[in-house]
Structure 1
Amino acid sequence: MCSSSTIVCILIFLQISHVLTAGQFAIIPPPNSIVGFLGEEVILPCQLTTSSVPESTNIQVQWILHKSSEKIDVKSYYGRNKPETQDDRYRGRAELSWNDLNKGNMSLILKKTYLSDQGNYTCIIILGDWYDEVMVELILAAKGTEPTIALVDYKGSGIGLTCSSNVWYPKPKALWLDSEGKVRSKQSDTTITETAAGNFSVSSSITIESRVDHEVSCKIINELLGMESESRILISDAFYPATSPWLAPFLIILLIFICLLVGAGYKVKGKYLICHFHNLI
């Protein structure tokens, strides 16, 4: 039978070992949310402060996505010779870097991202009897297609233009610029529509007057990514409705002539009625 002093020594040794082990490991929390490109691969970081985990240590890693009504098992690794678990929605899309586990890198590799992948993920690490977890937020964004500028109609002496672009996320901002890159003061009409896939399409229209500034630029901006896409066109005078500097004076003279003609007609008609009346008498 072991003496009481021996048992105490063993307990003290185990406690010291646990404290040393606990002090050896810690998860480095990401300073900010992770912003990834929609449809592309993104890595959610989960790195220990150590770059070396002993081979004899049993490593367990779990990545859980928290949704409003459920906790999704994105990827769970329970150690060598033990079956892994994973939600079917992430099968073939979510993986760990197996060669880096012993280097303290427990990051999640998420391939071909969807909008449903956005949210808060918990990285849970168990090393022997040591446990810790960290929260990682994933935000997705997309830079859409290059804007297409089209002439749609004529409005008075001006030209109606539209600018269209697709597959943006989140909602982008549309601007019309002049040749100097300044925002045009003339008001534009912009419509942003959410598609069935959850991204956004943009359509913006503006009227450009003749003899003002023939160079036109349409810029779509994703403020989250700090990225933009721009198209520019140069409109020739030949595209504007034909106008003549003599057209206004001609119309005024024509109107005066018509008024004089009508007045003369009334006078002739009045004289005819007077003569006809005297003849009847």
Structure 2
Amino acid sequence: MVELPGYSLSGVFASFFFMLLSMKQSDDFRVTGSAHPILAMVGEDALLTCQLLPKRTAMHMEVRWYRSEPSTPVFLYRDGDEVTEIQMEEYRGRVEWIEDGITEGSVSLKIHSLQPSDHGQYWCRVKDDNYLAETSLLLQVASLGSDPYIHMDGSVESGLQLVCTAKGWFPEPQVSWQDIKGEKLLTFSNYNFQDEDGLFYVESTLVVRDASTEAVSCFIHNPSLTEEKGSDVSIPERLQTEMASLKVIGPSQPILVRVGEDIQLTCSLAPKTDAQSMEVRWVRSHRHPAVYVYTDGARVAGEQMAEYRGRTALLSDAISEGRLTLQINDARTSDDGKYRCLFEKDGVYQEADLDLKIIGLGSSPQISMEGPKDGKVKLKCTSEGWFPQPQVQWRDMEGNTIPSSSQDLTQGSQGLFQVEAFLLVTNSSIVNVTCSISSPLLGEEKKTTFYASESRMIYSWNILLIWGLLLLLLVGVVGLIWRKNCRKVNKTLDSKTAHPGEGAMMPEE
């Protein structure tokens, strides 16, 4: 091989590769975006912009804005048109393509009516033939919610209980309490709930143990906006209000309601007081969302838990006497548990606890038999539709308890229990037994008795069936042999008839 002076073959290839790479890079570009988060408020519009460098027109390029998956874009621009077939459903009709700077490589997307779910990372991807580049931007969505409102729940064993609530915040806010000197107080509990719109409701509880405390303040802080809202309460002034002298009375015994029936939760004020101008709230573990809220003579639908919508009605015939009843239709197992009824006036709450027990009285038990096997018979007792978990017992004819060999308990999608109880006995010891399933709350039971005669009859019929099958099999085999022998005899006779001289002895000479 002949080499040119001063050049090697490897050097020629390296130079050629460098030239190709340089030619490609002359057509390449990069995409840049804002180095800082883009901050926008809920309900406003946000403009996301990325820039091609060096500057060039993006009219003929594909521009794709996406979040986690490029295959489902927030917006897709291709061949000068918007492509909507694969666009994320929640952005259809809410995004606008801005073409003002596209000839200089500036590609912008405007998102209208921001929602909390729009908060997060976005990617801007630009593709030209087989080359692409992308960058990411952070969109911070924020909402400055309502002013905090301090409720007084009255005295508890350890002190005076105050509750600070606020709603409409995003992202999740921070809550703090301070005394009149500005010193922070230790919070008893915090609860944050994100509603259907993605906004946060906050509920913070403070227990004041120092009787000399005159006033406290509650502050809600938004970490994205570095802004906060505060409210204060004068404790002695609130304690002197009319509500401080009232009590809320609820049922002293648990309320028992069967599945499918209507529930009635009644609370009343003592002494009797007109409650028309008060806020009355039925809640589970927290004030929001609530089972039902009554304010200024009407229901507050926006605060109601989804599982109670369309199922509640307020019976207010005696509201002028301070007695209100909440009716919940079509009782479900999920309704079981503790409730609280709160009456509020001038920022002071008084409440009563209610204990609701949902009961499902299931089907009559059915007993079936498996076996016999290895000299033993297994009885299975089944029933369904019970709540809460039922009690299952096997008993003999004298009423004595027989321990189950095993038991399976499963809970269906509606929360109702299905039970399977097994009893293992030997054939010689089979006696009349009863399977009893009872509700621990009602003291009612459903039972079924399995009689030994039934098992013996089933066993006898099984034996007869087996012997019958064996007899049929034996008859079939005998018949088959007889038919084969008949065929052989017939063949022999036919052969002798066709050749009468064959087989005869020849006379001696």
TM-score interval, smaller chain: 0.5 to 0.7
Root-mean-square deviation (Å): 3.2
Question: CA separation in 2, counterparts of 1:171 and 1:130?
Answer: 40
User: Does residue 66 of the first structure (1) align with residue 285 of the second (2)?
Assistant: yes
Question: CA separation in 2, counterparts of 1:217 and 1:154?
Answer: 19
Q: 5+ residue gaps in structure 2?
A: 1-236, 464-509
Are the counterparts in 1 of residues 386 and 417 from structure 2 also a CA contact under 8 Å? yes
Question: CA separation in 2, counterparts of 1:207 and 1:107?
Answer: 51
Task: Flag the structure with more relative contact order, 1 or 2, with Cα contacts below 8 A and sequence separation at least 6.
Answer: 1
Question: CA separation in 1, counterparts of 2:274 and 2:410?
Answer: 54
Question: CA separation in 1, counterparts of 2:299 and 2:418?
Answer: 44
Question: CA separation in 2, counterparts of 1:48 and 1:167?
Answer: 38
Question: What is the Cα deviation at residue 156 of structure 1?
Answer: 4.3
User: Does residue 137 of the first structure (1) align with residue 350 of the second (2)?
Assistant: no
Question: CA separation in 1, counterparts of 2:443 and 2:289?
Answer: 31
Which amino acid is 1:63 matched to?
Answer: W
User: Does residue 40 of the first structure (1) align with residue 261 of the second (2)?
Assistant: yes
Question: CA separation in 2, counterparts of 1:91 and 1:101?
Answer: 22
Which amino acid is 1:61 matched to?
Answer: V
Which amino acid is 2:352 matched to?
Answer: V
User: Does residue 94 of the first structure (1) align with residue 312 of the second (2)?
Assistant: yes
Structure with more of its chain in helix, by fraction: 1
Which amino acid is 2:400 matched to?
Answer: K
Question: What is the Cα deviation at residue 147 of structure 1?
Answer: 0.5
Relative distance call for 1:19 and 1:62 in structure 2 (3 A) is closer
Matches within 5 A, 1:216-235: 216-235=433-452
User: Does residue 75 of the first structure (1) align with residue 292 of the second (2)?
Assistant: yes
Any idea what SS the aligned residue of 2:324 has? Answer: coil
Matches within 5 A, 1:193-232: 193-210=410-427, 212=429, 214-232=431-449
Which of 17, 39, 49 is equivalent to 2:270?
49
Any idea what SS the aligned residue of 1:231 has? Answer: strand
Matches within 5 A, 1:12-51: 23=245, 25-50=246-271
Relative distance call for 1:66 and 1:130 in structure 2 (3 A) is closer
Any idea what SS the aligned residue of 1:107 has? Answer: strand
Are the counterparts in 2 of residues 179 and 213 from structure 1 also a CA contact under 8 Å? no
Question: CA separation in 2, counterparts of 1:129 and 1:205?
Answer: 59
Question: What is the Cα deviation at residue 203 of structure 1?
Answer: 0.8
Are the counterparts in 1 of residues 247 and 270 from structure 2 also a CA contact under 8 Å? yes
Alignment match, 1:84: 300
Q: 5+ residue gaps in structure 1?
A: 1-14, 244-281
Question: CA separation in 1, counterparts of 2:284 and 2:342?
Answer: 11
**TM (normalized to structure 2)?**
0.38
Matches within 5 A, 1:90-239: 90-126=308-344, 131-184=349-402, 187-210=404-427, 212=429, 214-236=431-453, 237-239=456-458
Question: CA separation in 1, counterparts of 2:439 and 2:389?
Answer: 7
Which amino acid is 2:300 matched to?
Answer: E
Question: CA separation in 2, counterparts of 1:224 and 1:83?
Answer: 33
Question: CA separation in 1, counterparts of 2:402 and 2:340?
Answer: 47
Any idea what SS the aligned residue of 1:202 has? Answer: strand
Any idea what SS the aligned residue of 1:197 has? Answer: coil
Question: CA separation in 1, counterparts of 2:319 and 2:409?
Answer: 44
Which stretch shows the higher mean deviation, 91-100 or 130-139?
130-139
Are the counterparts in 2 of residues 38 and 115 from structure 1 also a CA contact under 8 Å? yes
Which amino acid is 1:42 matched to?
Answer: I
Are the counterparts in 2 of residues 66 and 72 from structure 1 also a CA contact under 8 Å? no
Count of aligned positions: 220
Deviations 1:139-198 (A, max 9, x none): 33322111011123213455322110112222222211111221125x522111222333
Question: CA separation in 1, counterparts of 2:337 and 2:378?
Answer: 42
Question: What is the Cα deviation at residue 46 of structure 1?
Answer: 1.3
Structure with more of its chain in strand, by fraction: 2
Are the counterparts in 2 of residues 58 and 128 from structure 1 also a CA contact under 8 Å? no
Relative distance call for 1:217 and 1:198 in structure 2 (3 A) is same
Question: CA separation in 1, counterparts of 2:280 and 2:251?
Answer: 17
Relative distance call for 1:177 and 1:21 in structure 2 (3 A) is closer
Question: What is the Cα deviation at residue 31 of structure 1?
Answer: 2.9
Question: CA separation in 2, counterparts of 1:21 and 1:153?
Answer: 71
Alignment match, 2:469: none
Question: CA separation in 2, counterparts of 1:136 and 1:150?
Answer: 42
Any idea what SS the aligned residue of 1:99 has? Answer: coil
Which amino acid is 2:281 matched to?
Answer: Q
Deviations 1:55-79 (A, max 9, x none): 9x52431112226xx8322111113
Which stretch shows the higher mean deviation, 168-177 or 118-127?
118-127
Which amino acid is 1:64 matched to?
Answer: V
Which amino acid is 1:197 matched to?
Answer: Q
Question: CA separation in 1, counterparts of 2:391 and 2:244?
Answer: 49
- Which runs of structure 1 show a deviation greater than 6 angstroms over 4 or more consecutive aligned residues? 18-21
Which amino acid is 1:96 matched to?
Answer: L
Relative distance call for 1:48 and 1:197 in structure 2 (3 A) is same
Are the counterparts in 2 of residues 63 and 121 from structure 1 also a CA contact under 8 Å? yes
Question: CA separation in 2, counterparts of 1:38 and 1:140?
Answer: 6
